[in-house]
Amino acid sequence: MRRAFANITLVQMTWRKSRSGLARWQILFSCLLLILPAGARTAHSSPRPKAEDRPARVEAAAKPLPQDDSLVLAPAKDLALQPEGERKAEALTQYVEGLNLEENGESEKALEAFEKVLNVDPGQIELASRVAFLLTRDGDYPTAIDILKDAIKAQPKEAAPYLQLAHIYAKYLKKNEQALKYATRAVELAPQNIEAYQRLCEVELAAGHRQKAMETLDRAANVDTKEAAFWIQLGKLYAAIVLPPDKTPPPEEVKLVNAVFKKALRLAPDDLSVMKDAADFFAASQQIQEAIPLYLRVLELQPNDSNAREKLATGFLLTHQRAKATEMLQEIIKQHPEQYQSYELLGRVLEEEAKALDEAKKTQEAKDEYAKAAANYEQSLLINPAQIDNYPHLAQLLLVQLHDNERAIKVMTDAQHRFPNTPQITYVLAVVLREAKRTQQALTMFEEALHEGELDGGEIVNGEFYFEYGAAAEQAGLYDKAAELFKKSIQLDPTNAAEAYNYLGFMWADHNTHLEEAADYINRALQADPNNGAYLDSLGWLDYRRGKYEQALGELLKAAQNLTRDDATVFEHIGDTYFQLQQISQAFTFWQKAIILDPQNKKLAEKIESTKTKISKGEPLGSIPK
């Protein structure tokens, strides 16, 4: 007869389905039948002699006499449980009691009950694994190991205890040699169990043996199985090794993993989970053209899968199919307007489209797309205001692309209220205030950011921070302080100091002071980036201050050509240089370009009007108006 506890799983399933006391005792009674001695189960079923076969003289004696059951203190011998049966009956009772305790949240008492069961029958693999898990969770690794080793002695061909032992030794005890031994044995016992290969692979990776982990997976790849789940899990294990973050995977390894996922797809061509997992791998490995058809197929079978739609939209974005991405995301938003991720992703798509229009010199169309992108970012933050990184991104878009300073300030002020004493947020707010020409507020905010940053470990207090702070000081007219801050920026990050060199050199050139030192700084910036339009403008303006107008004009025109977008300051400089060269019409042309880009520039507007007035009156133009 199979061991009495073979029906424990059935007891557990039935007990969970029925809560009545009657059902509980019916189940217990049926299980007790399994452990009663054979004689006890058959005592009342043996055939009795027929009446005609018995002697007449004993007929009366054979009739049973009335009996008071309350006086019978011991069961009949053939009904009494043998010691082994008593132990198993007690264990079964402990098991049912353990289930009750576990359901009621009394995990410690449940664990004690389960351990009593295993004392009787340690070969109950599922129960041993459950108890070992609970003990491991509580940090009692020695007891968990003993239980699993007892289970192995009772059931040496079962792989599960070996897997669990490998996990405990590798993760908690950091004993890779023992972990490797048990994981290897699990693979030998269950060569078609992908979990065995996974555990062995994890142990090898924990020991720093990447190549051995790959060899383990290669061994799994030679298993003859038509289970798609096996191949999908194997593909995921390969991908975890082959696709490390921030690194380009070797093409031959990507090709290997491709074959595994494609095998799973051939075995289960209509399985949604297989399609999604394969598509996710192709997308993660930048094989977007492979991923897109799978996401499309998922949506054919499951049209309301918004997660697949988002991934498909991302795929379209990465393959520069922005129109399809926009359409897909708008459909998701229509179906699920409460999901903030869709608005954020649509904002990204629209922003990419705006950048493309900007590069094509379609300024107004680009501005319209930037405005739509900003609206979607704002909606995303409205639904989920905890997205700390999206506040600076939105503020930058509003500030740089849409020139909407007040909205940018509002966004970052809201962020500061939501995330007080967060130096990164205070820092960005300071930059936004500076760009909005709120100079004194900006300086105050930079000081606040500096204080918060130093308290927070000084992560933001770097070369870039001092550069931005220096720009605010320059804007406030605090030129000595600005020079000090720019030099601090250069000192902290000399390898990335080109922008600081340029800004300080330009500041001195613009104020016609320290020209020799300014030339040295600007040339250092150009050594780092010879074709940078802003640096060429600084050099041109320096030569303008030196009176080298012809040389300055060439450098300034080159600067305008090298800039990725039109710049009002560069155009004004070119106009001023043409004026000094007595080429007034060209001067007006570039001044007009500058005023269109910067209509709030009162000094430039006065310069244009003053020059027009002198020309109309026939007066000598003289020097350029200040």
Domain residue ranges of the chain, discontinuous segments joined by +: 539-617
For residue 86, the model assigns a pLDDT of 52
Q: Does the structure show a pLDDT above 50 at 32?
A: no
Task: Give the pLDDT band (50/70/90) at residue 625.
Answer: low
Tens of pLDDT, residues 43-83: 333 333 333 333 333 333 334 444 444 444 444 444 444 54
Give the pair of three-digit tokens for residue 24. 């509980």
Q: Is the dihedral of CA 486, 489, 493, 499 positive or negative?
A: negative
For residue 89, the model assigns a pLDDT of 57
Helix (H, G, I), strand (E, B) or coil at 21: helix
Task: Give the pLDDT band (50/70/90) at residue 210.
Answer: very high
| Residue 481: HSE in the Cβ half-sphere, 13 Å Cα cutoff | 12
Measure the CA–CA gap between 82 and 93, rounded to whole angstroms. 16
Which class for 463: exposed (0-12), middle (13-18), buried (19 or more C-beta within 10 A)? buried
Task: Give the pLDDT band (50/70/90) at residue 319.
Answer: confident
What CATH number does the domain located at 539-617 have? 1.25.40.10
Q: What separation in angstroms does the CA of 228 have from each of 96, 224, 260, 272?
A: 37, 12, 10, 12
| Lowest-confidence segment of 138-147, 210-219, 581-590 by average pLDDT | 138-147
Tens of pLDDT, residues 116-160: 667 766 778 887 888 888 888 889 899 889 888 988 998 999 999
Give the pair of three-digit tokens for residue 297. 């197929």
End-to-end C-alpha distance for the chain, whole angstroms: 108
| Lowest-confidence segment of 28-32, 96-100, 251-255, 293-297 by average pLDDT | 28-32
For residue 31, the model assigns a pLDDT of 41
What number is the average pLDDT over the span 293-309? 82
Task: Report yes or no: 414 and 391 within 8 Å, Cβ to Cβ.
Answer: yes
For residue 194, the model assigns a pLDDT of 94
Measure the CA–CA gap between 192 and 227, rounded to whole angstroms. 9
| Lowest-confidence segment of 120-134, 202-216, 286-300 by average pLDDT | 120-134
For residue 71, the model assigns a pLDDT of 42
Q: Which residue has the higher pLDDT, 322 or 488?
A: 488
Altogether, the residues listed in the chain come to a count of: 626
Question: Which of 17-31, 210-224, 238-252 has the largest mean confidence?
Answer: 210-224
Q: Does the structure show a pLDDT above 50 at 21?
A: no
Task: Give the pLDDT band (50/70/90) at residue 88.
Answer: low
- Which single residue is written with the structure tokens 């050594």? 527
Task: Report yes or no: 81 and 36 within 8 Å, Cβ to Cβ.
Answer: yes
Q: Which residue has the higher pLDDT, 489 or 305?
A: 489
DSSP per-residue codes, 349-406: HHHHHHHHHHHTT-HHHHHHHHHHHHHHHHHHHHH-TT-TTHHHHHHHIIIIIS--HH
Q: Count CB-CB contacts under 10 A for residue 119.
A: 13
For residue 29, the model assigns a pLDDT of 33
DSSP per-residue codes, 315-361: HHHHTT-HHHHHHHHHHHHHH-TT-HHHHHHHHHHHHHHHHHHHHTT
Q: Which residue has the higher pLDDT, 619 or 498?
A: 498
Identify the DSSP state of 625.
Answer: P
Q: What separation in angstroms does the CA of 253 have from each of 211, 239, 265, 365, 622?
A: 12, 9, 19, 44, 73
Task: Report yes or no: 214 and 204 within 8 Å, Cβ to Cβ.
Answer: no
Tens of pLDDT, residues 401-455: 999 999 999 999 999 999 999 999 999 999 999 999 999 999 999 999 999 999 9
Measure the CA–CA gap between 143 and 478, rounded to whole angstroms. 71
Q: Which residue has the higher pLDDT, 346 or 618?
A: 346
Phi-psi region of 246 (alpha: psi -120 to 50; beta: other; left: phi over 0): left
Average pLDDT over the chain, rounded to an integer: 83
Task: Give the pLDDT band (50/70/90) at residue 14.
Answer: very low
What number is the average pLDDT over the span 9-35? 34
| Residue 333: HSE in the Cβ half-sphere, 13 Å Cα cutoff | 19
Task: Report yes or no: 369 and 357 within 8 Å, Cβ to Cβ.
Answer: yes
- Which single residue is written with the structure tokens 């993660």? 284
What number is the average pLDDT over the span 473-502? 96
Task: Report yes or no: 498 and 535 within 8 Å, Cβ to Cβ.
Answer: yes
- Work out the percent of the chain whose per-residue pLDDT is above 90: 57
For the packed helices 533-545 and 549-562, what is the interaxial angle rounded to 10 degrees? Answer: 170
Measure the CA–CA gap between 257 and 234, rounded to whole angstroms. 9
The C-alpha angle with vertex 230 and arms to 226 and 236, in degrees rounded to 5, equals 140
Task: Give the pLDDT band (50/70/90) at residue 187.
Answer: very high
pTM of the full predicted structure? Answer: 0.56
Q: Which residue has the higher pLDDT, 41 or 179?
A: 179
For residue 504, the model assigns a pLDDT of 97
Q: Does the structure show a pLDDT above 90 at 502?
A: yes
Tens of pLDDT, residues 517-565: 999 999 999 999 999 999 999 999 999 999 999 999 999 999 999 998 8
What number is the average pLDDT over the span 578-603? 93
Cβ neighbours for 90, distance < 8 A, ≥ 6 positions apart: 116, 120
What number is the average pLDDT over the span 504-520? 96
For residue 316, the model assigns a pLDDT of 81
Task: Give the pLDDT band (50/70/90) at residue 597.
Answer: very high
Task: Report yes or no: 9 and 126 within 8 Å, Cβ to Cβ.
Answer: yes
